[in-house]
């Protein structure tokens, strides 16, 4: 697709959004031709252990006094996911209905968690089979659904017994990158206490958030981290610009922390990588075998 076509497609979609917004206003009503389309051209579907249904919205620019039924087909030559293996439509039906007086419906897709592997590159390309007169040609009638396997988070499984891990970090006031063995303990299902990442006197409280399976994050509230002979107590905190995150199957997390002194200001944002290790691996590190 050349640059002009891309610009035109984006323009048409913005117009369609404006029309839909106008339809929802009490003061303005769109009275033009009816078009039906997928609400977006690309979606990311989290594949979770509970096999939660994923919804792909379909929108119309006008209402009707009757139910409107549409079929949705899979474009197999543009898909890598297999229906019946990696996913299926809820209740086995790929038909959707926009109810009378409404402008939206949803294609409901159910993934099959055990059949999706972490490194799979699975895509479902769907085409809406609307009447030709309801098709907005420049926008098109297809959408792409990308499947991503998301592992459930259980703190007791993520952190190995003993709470051992190693930290790869660069520190304020030093240009060196160091690998250090550290220790911590589980506070509750979503809270972990790092006992000696920066100092023995200031354990760090980490909050793990798994509410969004596509975006597992770690939050470090503002708290003291260590003492410096020149500056006194130095603090750390998470920064919104560089979200900290964790990866469940690999048992590691990455912290982006702003290092600062409340009265003086910031020393910058530093990256700290923590890898959970077993007690045997911790013993090897202590003995210099790792």
pLDDT in tens, 81-99: 999 999 999 987 889 999 9
Mean of pLDDT values over 29-37: 75
Mean of pLDDT values over 207-226: 97
Residue 12 pLDDT grade (very low, low, confident, very high; cuts 50, 70, 90)? very low
CATH level 3 topology of 3-149? Immunoglobulin-like (2.60.40)
Q: Which of 106-120, 144-158, 166-180, 264-278 shows the lowest mean pLDDT across its residues?
A: 166-180
Would you say 270 and 172 are in contact if contact means Cβ atoms under 8 Å apart?
yes
Q: What pTM was computed for the model? A: 0.82
Beta strands in 121-221 (DSSP E): 122-129, 142-149, 164-170, 177-188, 191-194, 204-209, 217-219
Residue partners of 269: CB distance under 8 A and separation at least 6: 239, 241, 242, 256, 257, 258, 259
As a whole number of angstroms, the distance between CA 186 and CA 188 comes to 6
Q: Tell me the average pLDDT of the chain.
A: 87
Tell how far CA 80 is from the center of its chain. Answer: 21
Rounded to a whole number, what is the largest CA-CA distance in the chain?
Answer: 77
Q: What pLDDT is attached to residue 85? A: 97
Q: What pLDDT is attached to residue 172? A: 60
Higher pLDDT, residue 138 or 248: 248
Enter the DSSP assignment of 151: P
What are the sequence ranges of the domains in the chain?
Answer: 3-149, 155-286
- Residue 11 pLDDT greater than 90, yes or no: no
Residue 290 pLDDT grade (very low, low, confident, very high; cuts 50, 70, 90)? low
Q: What pLDDT is attached to residue 127? A: 96
Q: What pLDDT is attached to residue 43? A: 97
Q: pLDDT per residue over 96-116, tens digit each?
A: 999 999 999 999 999 999 999
Residue 51 pLDDT grade (very low, low, confident, very high; cuts 50, 70, 90)? confident
Mean of pLDDT values over 173-184: 78
Enter the DSSP assignment of 281: H
How many distinct helices (H) and strands (E) make up the chain?
3, 19
């Amino acid at each position: 697709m050349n640059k002009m076509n891309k610009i035109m497609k984006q323009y048409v979609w913005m117009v369609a959004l404006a029309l839909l917004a106008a339809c929802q206003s009490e003061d303005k009503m769109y009275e033009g031709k009816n078009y039906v389309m997928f609400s977006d051209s690309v979606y990311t579907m989290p594949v979770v252990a509970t096999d939660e249904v994923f919804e792909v919205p379909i929108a119309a620019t006008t209402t009707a006094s009757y139910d409107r039924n549409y079929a949705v087909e899979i474009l197999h030559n543009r898909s890598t996911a297999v229906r019946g293996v990696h996913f299926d439509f809820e209740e086995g039906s790929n038909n959707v209905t926009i109810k009378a007086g409404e402008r939206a419906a949803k294609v409901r897709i159910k993934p099959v968690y055990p059949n999706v592997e972490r490194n799979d590159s699975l895509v479902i390309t769907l085409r809406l089979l609307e009447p030709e007169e309801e098709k907005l040609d420049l926008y098109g009638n297809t959408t792409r659904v990308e499947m991503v396997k998301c592992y459930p988070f259980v703190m007791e499984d993520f952190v190995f017994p003993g709470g051992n891990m190693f930290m790869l970090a660069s520190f304020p006031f030093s240009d060196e990158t160091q690998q250090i063995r550290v220790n911590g303990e589980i506070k509750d299902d979503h809270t972990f206490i790092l006992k000696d990442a920066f100092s023995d006197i200031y354990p760090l409280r980490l909050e793990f958030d798994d509410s969004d399976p596509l975006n597992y994050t770690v939050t470090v509230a503002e708290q003291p981290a260590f003492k410096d002979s020149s500056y006194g107590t130095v603090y750390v905190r998470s920064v919104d610009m560089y979200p900290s995150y964790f990866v469940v199957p690999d048992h590691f997390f990455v912290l982006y922390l702003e290092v600062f002194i409340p009265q003086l200001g910031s020393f910058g944002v530093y990256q700290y990588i923590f890898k959970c290790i077993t007690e045997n691996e911790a013993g090897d590190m202590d003995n210099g075998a790792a």
